[in-house]
């Protein structure tokens, strides 16, 4: 740890023996051992507190990330990615006040009105916007509901009981026999 060689340690021991004396040397070594033990305990305590602070900081970061994930609106993000201009949703919206008949059709323009400016050959015409489904220009047509045909219930016979109307089976029905 401190890179002290055995020769240096022996020199420190000889100097301590001369300075302290052989009588008080065991008490001095015992006191030095106590101080070393206290220094190690303080260092271990400091390291554990430092580790706790790092762990709490990491936990705080994880808690913040978990809160961000909990507040994340997946539906809005997917909608923003798929339809950033919101044109698809507007085109698919159903107008509840629109008539459910297909008779409302707007006629297409046949000729340009007088005084209209003609476009040059290289100019591109503006793309027309499609009307929303359910609007008066494109009404929503719903199929008429038809009443279901009434289904007669089939009687269920218990096992081993003769079939109803067995005597009316006639000659056309094959006879079941055990062979």
Residue 120: its pLDDT value, please?
Answer: 57
Q: Cβ contacts of residue 26 below 8 Å, gap of 6+?
A: none
1 with 52, same domain? Answer: yes
Residue 49: its pLDDT value, please?
Answer: 94
CA-wise closest residue to 40 among 52, 28, 51, 48? 48
What is the extent of the structural domain holding 44? 1-57
DSSP-derived letter for residue 72 is -
14 with 33, same domain? Answer: yes
How do residues 14-49 score in pLDDT, each as one tens digit? 998 899 888 998 999 899 999 999 999 999 999 999
Residue 173: its pLDDT value, please?
Answer: 54
Domain contains 152: no
Domain contains 153: no
Low-confidence ranges of the chain (pLDDT < 50): 102-103
Domain contains 107: no
Residue 89: its pLDDT value, please?
Answer: 80
Domain contains 70: yes
Count of structural domains within the chain: 2
28 with 44, same domain? Answer: yes
Residue 74: its pLDDT value, please?
Answer: 84
Domain contains 36: yes
28 with 80, same domain? Answer: no
- Which of 57, 72, 102 is the last residue in one of the domains? 57
């Amino acid at each position: 740890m401190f890179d002290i060689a055995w020769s240096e340690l022996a020199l420190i021991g000889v100097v301590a023996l001369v300075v302290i004396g052989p009588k008080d040397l065991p008490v001095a070594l015992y006191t030095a051992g106590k101080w070393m033990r206290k220094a190690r305990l303080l260092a271990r305590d400091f390291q554990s507190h430092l580790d706790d602070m790092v762990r709490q900081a990491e936990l705080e970061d994880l808690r913040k990330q978990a809160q961000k994930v909990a507040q994340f609106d997946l539906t809005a993000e997917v909608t923003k990615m798929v339809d950033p201009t919101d044109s698809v949703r507007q085109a698919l919206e159903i107008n509840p006040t629109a008539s459910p008949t297909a008779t409302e059709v707007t006629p297409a323009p046949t000729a340009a009105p007088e005084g209209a400016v003609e476009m040059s050959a290289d100019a591109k015409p503006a793309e027309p916007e499609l009307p929303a489904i359910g609007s008066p220009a494109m009404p929503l047509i719903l199929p008429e509901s038809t009443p279901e045909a009434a289904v007669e219930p089939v009687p269920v016979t218990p096992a081993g009981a003769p079939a109803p109307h067995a005597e009316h089976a006639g000659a056309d029905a094959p006879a079941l026999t055990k062979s």
